[in-house]
């Protein structure tokens, strides 16, 4: 039920007249909370050994860093064509 409530708040938040930066920040925060609920309760990471939890989060940080690097390398600014001067 908690995940359904958070999802409902996320959907409602999209239609409210708030600043774009606030909506995106709140959506990211709510998504992070949902992610933590899923990994700690549904994946039973809460009752797992600390080593397994650490390995999971190391992989998460490496994946997030890779995603960030790829977005920075191949983002919208990288797709602007170079000017061709004669």
Same domain as 52, residue 36: no
| pLDDT at position 83 | 76
Q: State mean pLDDT over 22-35.
A: 90
Residue 78 is encoded by which pair of tokens? 């990288």
Same domain as 22, residue 6: yes
SS3 9: helix
SS3 34: helix
Q: What domain range includes position 55? A: 48-74
Cα-Cα end-to-end distance for the chain:
64
Confidence label for 86 from pLDDT (cuts 50, 70 and 90): low
In a domain, 18, yes or no: yes
> Residue 45: is its pLDDT beyond 80?
no
Same domain as 29, residue 53: no
> Residue 79: is its pLDDT beyond 80?
no
> Residue 9: is its pLDDT beyond 80?
yes
Q: What is the mean pLDDT of the chain?
A: 87
Number of domains in the chain: 2
Same domain as 31, residue 63: no
In a domain, 64, yes or no: yes
């Amino acid at each position: 039920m908690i995940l359904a409530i958070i999802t409902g708040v996320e959907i409602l938040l999209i239609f409210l007249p708030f600043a774009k930066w606030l909506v995106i920040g709140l959506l990211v925060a709510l998504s992070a909370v949902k992610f933590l609920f899923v990994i700690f309760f549904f994946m039973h990471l809460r009752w797992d050994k600390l080593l397994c939890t650490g390995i999971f989060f190391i992989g998460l940080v490496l994946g997030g860093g890779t995603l960030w690097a790829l977005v920075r390398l191949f983002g919208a600014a990288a797709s602007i064509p170079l000017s061709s001067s004669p």
